[in-house]
A and B are shown apart, each in its own frame.
Chain A
Amino acid sequence: MQRWIAAAALLFVAASSSERQRAEHALSRLTFGARPGDVERVMRIGVDRWIDEQLHPERIDDRAVAVRVARFEKAVEIPPRDDKQKARRAGRKAVADVSAQRILRAAESERQLNEVMVDFWMNHFNVFAAKGLDRYLVGSYERETIRPRVWGRFEDLLMATAKSPAMLFYLDNARSRAGALNENYARELMELHTIGVDAGYTQKDVTELARAFTGWSIDKPVNGTVAFRFRRFAHDSGAKTVLGVRLQGGMDEGERMIRFLARHPATAKHIATKLCIRLVSDEPSPALVERVAKRFRDTNGDLRATVKAVLDSPEFWSSRGAKVKSPFEYAVSAIRAAGGTIDDPLPLARELRKMGEGLYLAQPPTGYPDDAESWSGSGATLARLDFVLALVHNKMPGVRVRASDADALARTLGGKEFMRQ
């Protein structure tokens, strides 16, 4: 009888310790890091139920962070071009405001998985805030184009980015006209946003696709904002064929190609691969990628179902510590773990630039890398230790932590385990 009790107790301990490990892993990978007490809270709710909550962020009360970001939510007005100094100031302010909101949400939102996915999709559909008009547009791009769609259908997200002034400007499609073609968007739309570089398209496909998107442009700034505008007179209305699809029409050509590309099996594979790299490991198994791609295809690109397919996989649960945190993930997770308070997010935004992941500042359309090698190594380690030492000794401007033993806290946050997730 006693042996039975001992065995049952052991089982209970084993189950709860594995439940603890599951909670730790879920928090580490699906949030910007656990705060003190988070693991216990998630265990109390139940890991699976907590994940289900996170997959439905609209059901999570997030009023507290809404209040915190409010002071950075000022309407951005594109200044007239004649006053260069004013324009520069306004541009810096616009990027600073949107960076501040992003940092506060990452650090304080209860909808943590939502923030992780916003980060993922902003990077997938990267725009560069230092390029011309994009400094004024990146805020509305995140707020109106990306955020409302990260749990919807991929096709809708893709269409929204294709018609967003930020993307039209960043990849130069706004300027592309019949007879005065610009290939930039058409190429990256296939290579990076949808089917991937190895899907077998040709230079001719790129050129013809660029012709299909001629006229997809933006208005001149009116009342400080710009909007999508299809310019019929700039559209190349000649016949064209892209990836075997014959096109001849107006704006519907581009829309048709967006739908075609979104539903292309190579897109399912490409998106599945990137999601698995973000959420599981740098080199996910082909079997896992295929399972996730199948869910993507079967659900018509339902992003909630697709992410859930990743989180339901045994590969996800056995991938503890497999990812190296990016600088953004690392810095925010350190502040959260230290129970820190962010009084002013802007010094942190500057710190992220120094660590190589300035928000909205990835210049190439590929965005920032998402693999261990890019974000580890001695140089990166020393920069992180520098940051941690400043943080625990309250020398990181704009952030307050209360540490009874600063060195002990530094050892934890600067430890190898904490560099990973």
Chain B
Amino acid sequence: MNRRLFLRTTGLGLLGAALPLRAATRRGKVLVVIFQRGAVDGLNMIVPYGERAYAASRPSIAIPRNEVLDLDGFFGAHPSLQSLMPFWKDRSLAVVHAAGSPDATRSHFDAQDFMESGTPGEKSTKDGFLARAIGKPKSSAPRAVAITTTLPRIFSGAPDAIAATDLAKFRNERASALFASAYPEAFEAARVLGKVDASGGPLKQIASLIKGDVGVEVAFTDVGGWDTHAAQKAPLANNLRRLSEDIAALAKDLGSRMSDVVLVTMSEFGRTVRENGNRGTDHGHGGVMMILGGDVRGGKVHGKWPGLEREQLFEGRDLAVTTDFRDVFGELLTKHLGVTSLATVFPRYAVRGVGVLG
């Protein structure tokens, strides 16, 4: 259930609208970030089937017009995203196309690094932008949790950030008895997160974390397998199906709680407009982001579409970036999480509104 539906069914909509927006009202709000590592082919994820050059550039891998899940008469979703369509229809799911980083690098590592540090082109940034966004911890309860094997760069520098693949590990009394004094932060985190009854895949664990109400503000996970240089059709379809089903399950699992949640997907860059010699795509530039949640202005593909004709392409080969990823996150951080200033989150960058949140 999405916020609109929730508000409609509970009659809280009017009340909500009447309340002034203050940071303090943001209690309980959660941002869920999914990083599609490896650079997803955004053009086959959200397909600009209305572009003449789309099918022409991709003779063997274009998603046929009659197979896309139509979004607005110009864009269509990959058929594997079927489980997200109910959210598109109830307008809790939005898309920002031609989104990405202004930096031209086609290196996975650098592009991910620039996105997670929030400072494209600057390698010396030590911390991650979500760490800067949540600021100094007020207690030892973790506000940033990543369901990943290693701490993601995006949380780097946050003293109360946690990375773990299995939250059940936080319930270990034997370890606590032996080691609590050696690792006070870890066991303080365990005390808090141990209350959460979590199992299953990353997004399922994140749903439990949100339902557990333990003070988590930002949850992160990543998923690989998008670096589709060859024979991309089946792996891309399978990966998109799995991801969208997991996202749909999270939204369903959270139910009315979804009104406090915004989920966003990101990837380091897009892929070449033209397919390569192996029914795959090489490293490109502009990509696509999906935003799902309570306050989302959904049912709409946001951002300026730059076109796919040769003269419209970045460096003559890739989708241009017309929406900086920092604009999207800037909006989510201020409007959803109640972050009051973005000056340190995205230094030397003037965030522009995208209009993806209501």
Contact = CB atoms under 8 A, between A and B. Distances in A.
B164 A411 contact: no
Contacts of B151: 373-374, 376-377, 379-380
Interface stretch (B24-32, B40-48, B225-233): B225-233
Nearest to B188: A378
B108 A364 contact: yes
A180 to B, nearest CB: 2
Contacts of B304: none
A285 to B, nearest CB: 16
Contacts, number: 130
Nearest to A364: B108
Nearest to B225: A363
A366 interface: yes
B164 A180 contact: no
B211 interface: no
B277 A182 contact: yes
Interface of B is mostly: loop
A369 B150 contact: yes
A379 B108 contact: no
Given A356-B149, A374-B151, A382-B190, A366 B178 contact: no
B18 interface: no
Interface residues of B, number: 45
Given A182-B278, A197-B107, A364-B38, A383 B150 contact: no
Contact of B164 (A364, A383, A414): A383
Contacts of A369: 150
Contacts of A374: 150-151
Nearest to B272: A183
Contact of B277 (A175, A407, A410): A175
A30 to B, nearest CB: 24
Interface string A399-421: 00000000100110011100000
Contact of B178 (A184, A357, A373, A411): A411
A225 interface: no
Interface in B192-238: 224-225, 227, 229-230
Nearest to A327: B149
B166 interface: yes
B175 interface: yes
A180 B258 CA distance: 46
Contacts of B227: 184, 364
Interface in B95-111: 105-110
Interface in A154-195: 171-172, 175-177, 179-184, 187, 191-192
Given A183-B282, A355-B149, A379 B277 contact: no
B169 A386 contact: yes
A364 B37 contact: yes
A300 interface: no
Given A176-B277, A187-B283, A414-B178, A182 B230 contact: yes
Contact of A363 (B110, B163, B189, B224): B224
Contact of A183 (B38, B166, B186, B276): B276
B241 to A, nearest CB: 18
B137 to A, nearest CB: 13
Nearest to A376: B151
Which of the listed residues A172, A176, A407, A414 has the most CB atoms from chain B within 10 Å of its own CB? A172
Interface string A4-27: 000000000000000000000000
A381 to B, nearest CB: 5
A410 B172 CA distance: 14
A182 B280 contact: yes
A86 to B, nearest CB: 20
B253 interface: no
Interface in B21-74: 37-38
Contact of B229 (A184, A203, A379, A382): A184
B182 A379 contact: no
Interface string A132-173: 000000000000000000000000000000000000000110
Given A172-B230, A363-B224, A379-B164, A181 B182 contact: no
A75 B183 CA distance: 46
A307 B299 CA distance: 58
A179 B274 CA distance: 13
Contacts of A381: 183, 186
Contact of A182 (B142, B169, B276): B276
Interface string B147-188: 011110000100001111110011010110011001101100
Contacts of A171: 229
B315 interface: yes
Interface of A: 171-172, 175-177, 179-184, 187, 191-192, 197, 203, 206, 354-357, 363-366, 369, 373-383, 385-386, 389, 407, 410-411, 414-416
Report the 4 A-B pairs with minimum CB-CB distance, sorted nearest first.
A180-B277, A356-B149, A379-B164, A378-B186
Given A172-B230, A414-B179, 15 more contacts: A182-B276, A187-B283, A356-B165, A363-B225, A364-B37, A364-B109, A364-B227, A366-B109, A373-B156, A374-B151, A378-B162, A378-B186, A382-B190, A383-B165, A407-B178
